[in-house]
Structure 1
Amino acid sequence: MDEKTEELRDLFLDVAEEETVTERQEETPGSLTDERPVEERLTTVIERMRTAYEFDTDWSVEEYRRLVRGFFEEGTDGLAAAFGVDEDELFRARMDLHLLREEDAAFPFELRELRERLADGATPGDVAAAFDVDQSTVRRARRVQRAREEARTANDRYRDEFEELVADGDLSNQLARDAREDGLQEATEGMENDIEM
């Protein structure tokens, strides 16, 4: 301690009744890896969608959250196996959340034509015969069409929110990793390694 610091310390001890000169920190430091807010916001968006639209699958909120993360972080390849479901069920769950891929709309007919024929009173069987496809293809096309119309009506708001939330979570994790690495680097900077081989 230098002379000025000693004088200040003595002055403080004369005035204060306590012998200690340090204050205990009451607040705990924050965490860059707190995923809870992102999970809560994902849940909120999913529940809003479930209220606004009729879902084809009865997945739990947790499963839908995993689907959103998997869709934006890994793509859809292998997701069905990861969930232990078939591709059709995974597809229906994606349509529930408006998680469309470009190739989802690849049919041997235009979705506009499908909509027009159904509006004119044709049955799915009629449409399948007219387009020379099976009825499962028509059902799939109807799901894609419905999801696209719902998404368009909502200005793709839900998909954008999901993408932003997953990106925010990834960014938080990256910042946390960077902070840990920077802290470790600073802590070990200048240390000598005395290792004998």
Structure 2
Amino acid sequence: MDEKTEELRDLFLDVTEEDTVTERQEETPGSLTDERSVEERLTAVIERMQGAYEFDTDWSTEEYRRLVRGFFEENDELAAEFDADEDELFRARMDLHLLREADEEFPFELRELRERLEADESPEEVAAAYDVDEATVRRARRVQRAREEARTANDRYRDEFEELVADGDLSNRLARDAREDGLKEATEGMENDIEM
């Protein structure tokens, strides 16, 4: 410590009547990734949906969160990952309005299906009219209902899911890049003394 610094320290100690000049840092350093926050926000969106709509599946919130992540990461092995059959996985996706283009491909228009069902035609009659099985009619009805719910909500839930998953991925990429950049800077100019 130089003379000027000592004078300032003594002056500070006299004025404040403290024993020490330094303060401890109370807050922990921040992080580029706030994974907990993303998980909490995903949970909040899922719980809002459960309050607004009737779900066909009784999955846990954690399972729904994993489904959202897998859907936007385009994981083709989701059914195996959840130990669920394709129909259960499909119903869970419809619960969360996670539709794919392929979900809406039927040998009939969904609008026509809705009109027939609203005219009190039974699923058996509709299936016979279109020459398909009842499972196809039930699947189409679920797609049609999920699409109507999503449209009524302006696709808000799907957009929120996509944004949260993308933000989480971006945060993870930024953190990884920052670590790699820091490592690169730390090792720059170092000589490697390796004997072969």
**Which residue identity does 2:189 align to in structure 1?**
G
Structure 1 residues 160-185: Cα deviation after superposition (integer angstroms, max 9, x where no partner):
00000000100110111011111111
Give the gaps of 5 or more residues in structure 1: none
Q: 1:149 to 1:37 in 2, by over 3 A?
A: same
Q: Could you tell me how far apart the structure 2 residues matched to 1:19 and 1:109 are?
A: 82
Structure 1 residues 35-86: Cα deviation after superposition (integer angstroms, max 9, x where no partner):
01110110000000011000000000000000000000134x2110110000
Q: Could you tell me how far apart the structure 1 residues matched to 2:90 and 2:145 are?
A: 13
Residues 1:50 and 2:46 aligned together: no
Partner residue, 1:108: 107
**Which residue identity does 1:95 align to in structure 2?**
M
Partner residue, 1:195: 194
SS across alignment from 1:196: coil
Residues 1:39 and 2:39 aligned together: yes
Report the Cα offset of residue 22 of structure 1: 4.4
Q: RMSD of the TM alignment (CA)?
A: 1.6
Question: Residue 8 of structure 1 is aligned with which of 1, 4, 11?
Answer: 4
Which range moves more in the overlay, 29-38 or 65-74?
A: 29-38
Q: In the alignment, is the contact (CA less than 8 A) between 1:46 and 1:61 conserved in 2? A: yes
**Which residue identity does 1:101 align to in structure 2?**
R
SS across alignment from 2:172: helix
Q: In the alignment, is the contact (CA less than 8 A) between 1:33 and 1:176 conserved in 2? A: yes
- What TM-score does the superposition give when structure 1 sets the normalisation length? 0.92
**What pairs with 1:1-197 in structure 2 (closer than 5 Å)?**
6-17=2-13, 22-75=22-75, 77-197=76-196
Q: Could you tell me how far apart the structure 2 residues matched to 1:8 and 1:109 are?
A: 87
Q: 1:9 to 1:42 in 2, by over 3 A?
A: same
Q: 1:82 to 1:28 in 2, by over 3 A?
A: same
Q: Could you tell me how far apart the structure 2 residues matched to 1:107 and 1:52 are?
A: 28
Which range moves more in the overlay, 82-91 or 23-32?
A: 23-32
Structure 1 residues 88-134: Cα deviation after superposition (integer angstroms, max 9, x where no partner):
00000000000000010111111111111111110000000100000
Q: Could you tell me how far apart the structure 2 residues matched to 1:16 and 1:195 are?
A: 53
Report the Cα offset of residue 8 of structure 1: 2.3
SS across alignment from 1:74: coil
Q: 1:52 to 1:19 in 2, by over 3 A?
A: closer
Q: In the alignment, is the contact (CA less than 8 A) between 1:13 and 1:19 conserved in 2? A: no
Determine what percentage of the aligned residue pairs are the same residue: 81
Report the Cα offset of residue 24 of structure 1: 2.9
Q: Could you tell me how far apart the structure 2 residues matched to 1:61 and 1:151 are?
A: 20
- How many pairs align? 192
